[in-house]
Amino acid sequence: MFDIFKIFSFLKKTFSRKDVLLILFLIGLYFLTRLINLDKFPIFSDEGIYIRWAKVAWHDASWRFISMTDGKQPLQTWGTIPFLKLFPDNALLAGRLFAVTTGFAALIGTFSILFFLFGKTSALIGSFLYIITPFFLFFDRISLVDSGVNAGFVWILLLTIVLAKYRKLETALILGFVGGFFLLAKSSVRIFFMLGVFTPLLFLEKDWKKLLKNALNYYLLFGLSLIIALVIYNVQRLSPFFQFVDKKNLSFVMGFDEFLK
């Protein structure tokens, strides 16, 4: 049962004033490294295309799935629209703020997964490393969907680990909604989702009966998560351009038939 007071009590017991200051420092450092001169970096060609799609989708609701004309999922297009409304005269800044936002979601996920697995110190160190890593620094400042893909991987991994450990229905539901949300970002997110098949290996039991029982419960819940995620993913079928997604995937991924050849 949800109890906000238990959450506050847990946070108060777990994090000291020093920890809170360190977390605030990391948050400040993140936005400092991501926002300074955000719109001064020369525009990348794909950025112009994606921002243009978002502007068209904003002004014409019938084109909300415009990115699918090129086989691209619509999450970035939809996510950029609110920032275009805030900064209508600086479309480049608006487009890149989407990446900053998804990058911050990835940072929170990184902190959470490290805290869950290894504790507070590892979470703080890992979050700092995330902030200063050039790969994340670059993609969190450019109007591409890759920052959102990073966030999707982190959160899907975290939720599958939590599901494997506790096997709770509410976790499976959250995983399904989060997974479905990020499946609207890029096709490669499906790979991250399917890694959940191997998550029970992190919690092996010596008692085989208990192991099989836990595995069965996990896979039933994980299957439910997959169903929810696929239902959300299939909202793209509202667009007549849905067929182009699979065709686009074949440009970057070897199909099963090609693999057999």
| Structure confidence by residue, pLDDT tens digits, 211-261 | 889 899 999 999 999 999 999 999 999 999 998 888 877 776 665 566 566
In a domain, 248, yes or no: no
In a domain, 98, yes or no: yes
Reduce the DSSP state of residue 144 to 3 states and report it. coil
Q: Give the residue numbers spanning the domain of 30.
A: 16-36+43-242
- CA 167 – CA 28 distance, rounded (Å): 35
The whole-number pLDDT of residue 10 equals 85
- DSSP 8-state symbol, 36: T
Q: Which residues have a Cβ under 8 Å from the Cβ of 80 and sit 6 or more positions away?
A: 50, 51, 54, 94, 95, 98, 143
What is the residue-averaged pLDDT of the chain? 92
- The percentage of the chain sitting over the pLDDT mark of 70, rounded to a whole number, equals 95
Looking at the structure of the chain, the number of domains it has is: 1
- C-beta separation of 176 from 220 below 8 A: no
Model-level pTM?
Answer: 0.92
The whole-number pLDDT of residue 248 equals 79
CA distances from 194 to 114, 155, 157, 188 (A): 21, 13, 10, 10
Across 103-122, average pLDDT: 96
Q: How many CA atoms lie within 13 A of 225 on its CB side?
A: 31
- Nearest C-alpha neighbor of 192 from the set 175, 207, 208, 205: 175
The whole-number pLDDT of residue 51 equals 96
In a domain, 178, yes or no: yes
Neighbours of 99 (CB within 10 A): 28
For the record, the structure tokens of 151 come out as 């966030």
The whole-number pLDDT of residue 1 equals 66
